[in-house]
Structure 1
Amino acid sequence: MTRTHAVMLLCVLPPLLLAGASAWRAIPNPPPYRDLNKNGTMDVYEDPSQPVDKRVDDLLRQMTLEEKAGLLFINGARINDDGSLEDRPGKGPFAFAPQAARLILEQRMNHINVWAVPGKQALATWYNNIQKLAEEKTRLGIPVTVASDPRNAFSEALFAVAANDFSQWPEQLGFAALGDEALMRQHADMARQEYLAVGIREALHPMADLATEPRWPRVSGTFGEDAQLSSRMVKAYILGFQGAALGPQSVACMTKHFTGGGPQKEGLDPHFEFQKGQVYPGNNFQYHLIPFEGAFAAHTAAIMPYYGVPKGQTKEDVAFAYNKEIITGLLREKYKYDGVVCTDWGLVTDARMGPVVWPARAWGAEQLSEEERVRKILEAGCDQFGGEQCTHHVVNLVMNGKLSVERVDVSARRLLRQKFILGLFDNPYVDVEKAVQTVGKAEFKQAGEVAQRRSFTLLKNDKVKGRKVLPLAAGKLKLYLRNVNPETAARYGTVVSRPEDADIAIIRLRTPWYPVKTDNPMAQRFHHGDLDFKGAEKDSILALLKQVPTVVDLYIDRPAVIPEINAAARAVVANYGASDAALLDVVFGKARPEGKLPFELPSSMEAVRQQKEDLPHDSAKPLYPFGFGLSY
C-alpha cells in the first residue's frame, strides 16, 4: 500500500465503520482513481491534485518514442451509425477515413477529428467507446482528444459540416454582418455546450482569415474583409468556446489560418497544385495579422497555419507550416505564442482518390521526401501534423539521429498539457442521456433561428405607389417561387405555379462559381471562378424580373457581382446561411434585417480583376460598399 492509498483509506474508514461490514465490502476495487497504466499505484500523472506540469513530466518520462510520435498526429476517422467500433465499410464522401480503433491501437494516436457523424446518441456512444478503448487497451491510457470543423452553420458550405442534430446558426459572415460581440460569444458558448455533451473537445475554428480576395472559395468561413471587425469577433468567439481560461468545461479553439489565408492570387486555393501562391501586391502583409492578435488576446489554445506560400515575405518561399521565419520567428518569438501549432491537413503524404492522386500540400518543399518534410515542419516550430498518420517518420528520424528526442518532447509536452487542462485524464467520458438532451436543445435552436433572421442584409427596397416593397403584406398576395419551399411560403400567401399569375415573385439565388478544370474531385467542389451570373441562367433570372415584381434573396458565400439583377429587382436581400422560414419571416416583416455587408459587392468582374488580393475595400465603385445595409 502506498502512502497515498493509506491517506485515502483513513479518510473513508470512520463512515464505513459506522455503516457496518456490508458497507466495508462495498469499497470499490480498484482504488478510487483512474489507474491508467494498470500498475496498481497512483502515479503522479494519474493524480488530479498534482500540478499540470508535474503530471506532464511524469507521463512524458514513461512514454516510449512510438507513443510520443503518436501524440504528434491527428487524422479523421469514420463513425458507424450505431457508434460501435467494428471495422465496417464506410459510407459517403468520408468512406476513405480509417476506423478510430486502428489509429489508437496501431498508430498510438490519441487525437482524432470527425467529419460526417451519426445522430447525437450514437456520436456520444462512439466517443465513450473510443475513450474506453484508449483506457483499457493502450499501455498508458492516454485519453483521446476529438476535434471537429464547424457543426452549427445552417448551410453545408465547404468546411462547415452538416449540422444534423446541432443548433443551426449563420456562418461566420453572418455574425460579422451583425458585428454583435455579445451574440458571437453567446453562440460560441451554446455550441461549446453541444460539443462538450458529445465529447468534441477541440474546435478546428474560428477562421481569422480576411476576405480581401473576393474570388477565394473560403470567404464564407471568414468574418469578412475588415481586420478590426474580424479581430473583435475572433476574440469573442474564442472566449465563448474556451472561457476566460482553458479548463474542464472548455472546448479548445484551433484558430486558423496563420498568417491569414485570404490573399490567394486570383483566388485559387492552395489546397491544390493549380494555386499560384499567396501574394501581397498592396504590401499589406501586416494587416492580415490583426485578427490573430484578437485570438492571442483570448488565449487561443492552438493555431493552424495555411497551405499557401507567402511570396516574397520571407527568405525562403515555402508554405507557412514549413517556414521557420513564420512559425518560430513571427509566431513563437514576436507574438510569444507557446500553444499548440498544428499543420493544416495533408502536408506530408499524397492522397489517392480513385485513379486521381491528390498531391501533398508541400508547396516549396515538393522535392523533399516524406520523412524530410516531417523534419522540416518540426524544425519550423510546428507541433502536430493534421490529416496524417505517418508516425513512423518521426520514429525513424530520431532513431537515425536526424531529430532529437528533446525536440519531440517539446511538442509532446504542449499536447499533453492541453489534454490535462481540459480534464481528459480525470474524466474523459460523457453522459449519453445528457448529450441527447443538450445537443439541439430548444433554447439553442431558437437562438440560432433568431440570429439567422437578424443577419439578413437588406440591399435594395424600391418604392411602389409611394410604399416600400418590403415588408410584404402577409395573406394578401399571390406568390411565385423559385428555390423556396412552397409549403413554408403558403403560410404567407397563395402560391401559384406561373409567374404571370403572381402579384410578386420571391427567388433564392447563390453567388455563382465555376469549377477549375481538374480531375481532382475535391477541387471540383471548391467555389472558384467568376462571381457573376452568365448565359442561360442569367437570362432566365432577368426574364422573370421583367415579367413580375421580384424579391431576390442572395446567399453570398463570396461577394456576388449582380449589377443587372440588382437593377431589375424590386427588392434585394442577402443572407449568410438561413432557412426558407427565416427568409420569409424577414420578407413579410415578422423579423427585421439588421445585417451590414462584411465585404464590398463589386460592380463588375473587371473591377474584381483589378483589385489587389491583400487589400480590403479596394473595389472601384462597388455596387454596394462594405458596411452597407438598410432596414425597416
Structure 2
Amino acid sequence: MKRFIAFILLLTPLFGFGGEDERIEAMLSKMSFDDKIGQLNQVDGRGDIGQLEAEIRAGRLGSVMNIVDPKLLDRLQRIAVEESPAGIPLLFARDVVHGFKTVLPIPLGQAASFDEELVERAARNTAVEATECGIRWAFAPMMDIARDPRWGRIAEGFGEDPFLAGRLAAAVVRGYQGDSLSDPKSMAACAKHFVGYGAAEGGRDYNTTYIPERLLRDIYFPPFRMAVEAGCASVMSSFNDNDGLPATGNRWLLTDVLRGEWGFDGVVVSDWGSVAGLVPHGAAADNREAAKRCITAGTDMDMSSRSYLRHLRSLVENGEVPMEVVDEAVRRILRLKMRLGLFEHPYARQVTTSDLYSEKILDDACALAREATVLLKNDGVLPLSNVRRILVTGPMADAPYDQLGTWTLDGDKTRTLTPIRALREIAGKEIEILYEPALAYGRDQSTARFGRLRSLARKADVVLAFVGEEQIMSGEAHSLADLNLQGAQREMLELLAGCGRPLVTVFMAGRPLTIERETEISDAVLYAWHPGTMGGRAIAQIILGEASPSGKLPVTFPRCVGQIPMYYNHKHTSHRADGSEGNLDDIPREAVQSVMGHTSSYLDVPPTPLFPFGFGLSYTTFTLSELQLSDTTVPANGVLKVRVTVENRGKREGTEVVQLYVGRKSASVTRPIKELKGFRRVTLSPSESRIIEFELPIDELAFCGADRRTAVEPGSYVLTIGTDSRDGLKEHFSVK
C-alpha cells in the first residue's frame, strides 16, 4: 500500500497540471525493465488463481482476460495497485462480441437491420452490463469482410460490404466507448481482425490469404479505417498470413499503414497466441524470433503466448530490439489505461441497482432481433390471421442455448425467450398451439417422430417450422464444406410441405445456408440468424403481425456451395453472364465442342444468387420514384445531393431500407459493378410518401488506381437507388 501511495504522490502534480504525455513519461521513468515487459503480457485468468495472484504481485501482467466475477476482479486489482512493484492497475478484458448477459443477435444479424442508431444503443447497453462486472476492454467489433459463408466466423462480422461493415463497426465503437472512455460505464473497443482474416482460403479458419494491396485498400481496409476514425481504442491483429507475411508480424500493416497513414495512437494486441503463431506459420524459427518480429512490427501486447515475457529481455540486452521499441509499446498501453481512468478508479464500479437484464436492455435487444429478421418469401400466409390452431415444430423452436449463437460466453440460456414460449405467451389464449419438435437438435437424423408430426400437421391451420444450425456449428474453428441443413431437417420440411397446410419456415443460423429447395417448398420464409436472448419474442411478433419485417441481407445467399465466393460488388468481366445460363437441359448431346456462349458462368447452375445482398421483403409494398441529383457534374472535393420519393402502397405500416449504390464502367483499373455508398431506413403509414435525401461526399468514391494511389478519378458514374443490390432507379453523373 505504501509503495502504491508513494507512486501516486509522485504523479500528483502531473495529475493536476500536466498532460497525458507528461504523466506517461513520469510513469515510464519510474518503471523497471521487468515492469515494462509485464505490461506487454496478457493472460487468460481462468487457470490457477494462486499462480495468477503471484504473477500479478510480481508485476508480470498488464492485462487479464476472462475474469467476470467483480469480487475476484477487485481482489486481483488490489494486488496489482497495492503490492506489485509499479502499482499499475490491470486492464480486464473479455470477448464481449454481441451482448454480455443480455445476448444480442449475432453481428451478421445486426447488420441485417441496417440501423446504426439501434446497433449503437444496443452496444451501449452491452457496455453498461459488462462494466458492472468490471470488464473495461471488449474484443469487438469484428469487421472482417467475408465473402465465403463456409467460414464459421462470418457470424461475428457485418457481412460482405465494406461500407456497411464500417458504419456498423463505428456504431459499436461509439456504443462501447460512449462520450468518454473514462466513464465507468464505458469500455475500450477493439477493431478485429487486422486484416483479411475473412478471406481465408476455402473458408477454412486460420488459413492463408492472398489479397493484393489494391484489394486491401479498396475492400478490407475501409471498415478498419472507419473504426479508427470513430476513435476505436485498440486493434487486434489477425491470425492469417497474407502474401507470406503473418499479420501479427507485419510492420507495413501495423506501423506504416495503421499508425503512419491513419494516425492510430491506440494499442495493438495480438490475437490469441498469434505472436508464437509465427512459428507454425514458418515465419519464425522459434518463439524468440517471433517475439522480435512482432514487437518491432508494432504489436504492443502479446495475448497468451508469453513470448514477450520470456524473450524481450535477452532481445534488448543483445541489441536485437531497441529499448525505444519496448518503451513505445508500454506508452501506448499506459495511455489506454489512463484514458480509461484506471489510475483513479481501478476497481469494478459499485451499483445500487443492477442493470443486468433490465427492461430497457431487453426491449432494445428485442427491437434489434426484430429488425434483424429478414422475410425472404411470403405467398400471403404471413402475418397469420384467422387461424385457430398452429403447429410449431423443428429443432430450433425451443433451443435456448443454440438461439444465443456463437461467442456468448456470459449468456444464460435460462433467460432465453424461445419462439415456442413467446408464441404461447402472446397468442396462447386465442390460438391453440400444438408442439412437436420432431427432431431433438439440428443434426438429429432420427425420423421416429415424423408419424406424429404428420398427424398433427393435418389438424393445424398452419405449420411453423423452426430449423437451422446449432450454436456449435458456426463461429471460430467451425467452418463447413456443406451448407445444407444438417440432420433430417430437410426431410422434415418435405414431409410438412406434403400435408396440405401452409408452411412457414423460420431459419436460425450463424451464416447463409443453401436453402433453395427449402424456400421452394415453403409458403413463407423468415431468416432470423441466431437472434439472442429476446429472439423468440421478436420472431413471434413478426409472425403474428405485431411488427412488419424490415431486415435486409448483409451478405449474398448462394444457391449452392459451388457458387462461392459470391458477392454483389464483383468486378466487371470481359464475358459477363446475362442470367440465362446454368441449365443443363439446354446443352445438346454430341454437339461440336463450343464455348457455349462466351460467358463467365456454370453449366449447371444459374449465375444469379438465390437472394442478393440488400434483399428483404415487407408486409407492405414500397415504390421508389422521382430520383433527382443536385447536379450532373461534381468536383472531386464536392458533395452530390440525391433525392428520391418513397411511397408505401400497401395496407400496413412498414419500414423500407432505401439503398444507394454507385458504379462506373471504366477507370484506370477494373472496378466493381456497383458499391453501397448510403442507406436510410424509412417508416411509412399506408399510402404515405416521403422524400428521402442523401448527401454523397465525392471523396467516398476514391479507390486505389493504376498508380496505387487512393484517389477519386474523374469520369462518368452510375448512381442507383433501390431496395436491394439487384436493380433500381438510375441516374448518371460526372466527376471532374
Q: TM-score range by the shorter chain?
A: 0.7 to 0.9
- Pairs within 5 Å for 1:382-461: 382-390=299-307, 391-434=309-352, 437-461=354-378
Residue 568 of structure 1 aligns with which residue?
Answer: 521
Distance in 2 (alpha carbons) for counterparts of 1:283 and 1:54: 40
Q: Residues 585 and 35 from structure 1, CA distance in 2 versus in 1: closer, same or farther, beyond 3 angstroms? A: farther
Alignment partners' CA distance in 2, 1:455 and 1:54: 47
Distance in 1, matches of 2:569 and 2:58, equals 44
Q: CA deviation at 1:102?
A: 4.1
- Are 1:261 and 2:218 matched, yes or no? no
Aligned to 1:143: 89
Q: 1:340 to 1:581 in 2, by over 3 A?
A: same
Match of 2:454 in 1: 499
Q: 1:41-85 CA distances to partner (integer Å, 9 max, x unpaired)?
A: 711268532422222111111111111011112122128xxxxx9
Contact residue 124 and residue 175 of structure 2 kept, 8 A: yes
1:216 aligns with 2:151: yes
**Structure 2 residue matching 1:344: 3-state secondary structure:** coil
Q: Within 2, Cα distance between the matches of 1:334 and 1:577?
A: 37
What amino acid sits opposite 1:39 in the alignment? A
Pair 1:129–1:535, CA change in 2 (3 A): closer
**Following TM superposition, by how much is the alpha carbon of 1:616 offset from its aligned partner in structure 2, in angstroms?**
9.1
| The structure with more strand, counted as a fraction of residues | 2
Matches of 1:188 and 1:496, distance apart in 2: 35
Q: Specify whether residues 184 and 202 from structure 1 end up closer, same or farther in structure 2 by C-alpha distance, changes over 3 A only.
A: same
Deviation at 1:544, TM superposition (A): 2.7
CA distance in 1, matches of 2:196, 2:300: 19
Deviations 1:273-307 (A, max 9, x none): xx3x1134896222111111211211211111211
Q: Which runs of 5+ in 2 are unaligned?
A: 399-419, 437-452, 577-605, 620-736
1:318–1:365 contact (8 Å) kept in structure 2: no
User: Normalization by structure 1: what TM-score?
Assistant: 0.78
Quote the sequence identity (%).
Answer: 28
Cα deviation for residue 536 of structure 1 reads: 4.5
How large is the RMSD of aligned CA atoms in angstroms? 3.0
Q: Is residue 531 of structure 2 the alignment partner of residue 597 of structure 1?
A: no
CA distance in 1, matches of 2:469, 2:237: 27
What is the aligned partner in structure 2 of residue 37 from structure 1? 4
Deviation (angstroms), 1:263: 1.2
How many angstroms does 1:344 deviate by? Answer: 0.9
In structure 1, distance between residues paired with 2:63 and 2:8: 26
What's the counterpart of residue 198 of structure 1? 133
What CA distance in whole angstroms lies between the structure 2 residues aligned with 1:77 and 1:263? 31
Aligned to 1:178: 113
Look up the SS of the partner of 2:221 in the other structure: helix
Q: Provide the C-alpha distance between the structure 2 equivalents of 1:182 and 1:576, rounded to a whole number of angstroms.
A: 20
Match of 1:128 among 65, 71, 74: 74
Does residue 490 of the first structure (1) align with residue 436 of the second (2)?
no
Written as runs of structure 1 = structure 2, the 5 A alignment for 1:511-522 is 511=469
**Are the structure 2 counterparts of residues 66 and 456 from structure 1 closer, same or farther at C-alpha, using a change threshold of 3 Å?**
same
Q: Distance in 1 between matches of 2:497 and 2:516?
A: 13
Preserved CA contact (<8 Å) 1:45 1:58? no
Q: Partners of 2:614 and 2:225 in 1: how far apart?
A: 22
Distance 1:45 1:222 in 2: 43
Residue 452 of structure 1, CA deviation: 1.2
| CA–CA separation in structure 1 for the residues paired with 2:314 and 2:93 | 27
Would you say 1:296 and 2:242 are equivalent positions? no
Q: Measured at CA, do residues 423 and 496 of structure 1 come closer, stay the same or move farther in structure 2, by a change above 3 Å?
A: closer
1:343 aligns to what? 270
How many Å separate the matches in 1 of 2:570 and 2:469? 21
After the TM superposition, which residues 450-489 of structure 1 pair with which residues of structure 2 at under 5 Å, given as runs? 450-462=367-379, 468-473=380-385, 476-483=388-395, 484-485=397-398, 486-489=420-423
Q: Is the 8 A contact 1:318 1:364 kept in 2?
A: no
Partner of 2:609: 622
2:63 alignment counterpart: 111
Report the equivalent of 2:34. 66
- Pick from 503, 510, 514 the counterpart of residue 550 of structure 1: 503
How many Å separate the matches in 1 of 2:470 and 2:558? 14
In the alignment, the residues of structure 1 paired with residue 8 and residue 526 of structure 2 have an alpha-carbon distance, to the nearest angstrom, of 65
Q: Distance in 1 between matches of 2:494 and 2:12?
A: 68
Paired residues of 1:280 and 1:614 also in contact (CA < 8 A): no
Q: What does residue range 149-168 of structure 1 map to in structure 2 within 5 Å?
A: 149-150=95-96, 152-153=98-99, 163=100, 166-168=101-103
For residue 305 of structure 1, the aligned residue among 237, 247, 250 is: 237
Distance 1:623 1:381, change over 3 A: same
8 Å Cα contact 2:97-2:140 kept in structure 1? no
For the 8 Å contact 2:45–2:64, the answer to whether it is kept is yes
Q: Closer, same or farther in 2 for the Cα pair 1:172/1:536, shift >3 Å?
A: closer
Quote how far apart the aligned CAs of 1:173 are: 1.7
Q: Distance in 1 between matches of 2:226 and 2:491?
A: 45
How far apart in 2 are the matches of 1:613 and 1:308?
25
Give the partner amino acid of 1:234.
A
Tell whether the 8 Å contact from 2:267 to 2:333 is kept in structure 1 after alignment. Answer: yes
3-state SS of paired residue (1:551): strand
Counterparts of 2:77 and 2:571 in 1: how far apart (Å)?
46
SS at match of 2:15: coil
Q: Who is 1:278 aligned against?
A: 209
Runs of at least 5 residues in structure 1 that lack an aligned partner in the other structure: 1-33, 80-84, 88-98, 118-122, 154-162, 312-316, 350-359, 463-467, 517-521
Cα 1:496–1:183 shift into 2, 3 Å: closer
Does structure 1 retain, via aligned residues, the 8 Å contact 2:366–2:537?
A: no
- Structure ranking higher on relative contact order (CA contacts 8 Å, 6+ apart): 1
Aligned equivalent of 2:291: 374
> Are the structure 2 counterparts of residues 474 and 103 from structure 1 closer, same or farther at C-alpha, using a change threshold of 3 Å?
farther
Report the equivalent of 1:95: none
Post-superposition Cα deviations, 1:514-564, rounded to whole Å, max 9, x if no partner, equal: 989xxxxx98x5133221236744333322333343211112322211111
* Distance (Å, rounded) in 1 between the aligned partners of 2:554 and 2:321: 45
Amino acid at match of 1:505: V
1:318–1:363 Cα contact (<8 Å) kept: no
Q: What secondary structure is seen at the aligned counterpart in 2 of 1:200? A: coil
Q: Residue 55 of structure 1 aligns with which residue?
A: 23
Counterparts of 1:505 and 1:616, CA distance in 2: 42
Residue 252 (str. 1) matches residue 219 (str. 2)? no
Q: Cα gap change, 1:141/1:41 in structure 2, threshold over 3 Å: closer, same or farther?
A: closer
- Secondary structure of 2:175's counterpart equals helix
- How far residue 442 of structure 1 moved from its aligned partner, in angstroms, is 2.0
CA distance in 1, matches of 2:540, 2:463: 12
TM-score, normalised to structure 2, is 0.67
- CA pair 46-111 structure 1, distance change in 2 beyond 3 A: farther
The change in CA–CA distance for 1:107 and 1:545 in structure 2 (over 3 A counts) is: farther
SS for the counterpart of 2:354 is helix
322, 325, 329: which is aligned to 2:256? 329
Preserved CA contact (<8 Å) 1:456 1:576: yes
**How many Å separate the matches in 2 of 1:136 and 1:420?**
17
Cross-structure match for 1:237: 172
Q: Residue 17 of structure 1 aligns with which residue?
A: none
Deviation at 1:363, TM superposition (A): 5.5
Paired position in structure 1 for 2:448 = none
Look up the equivalent residue of 1:65 and give its one-letter code: F
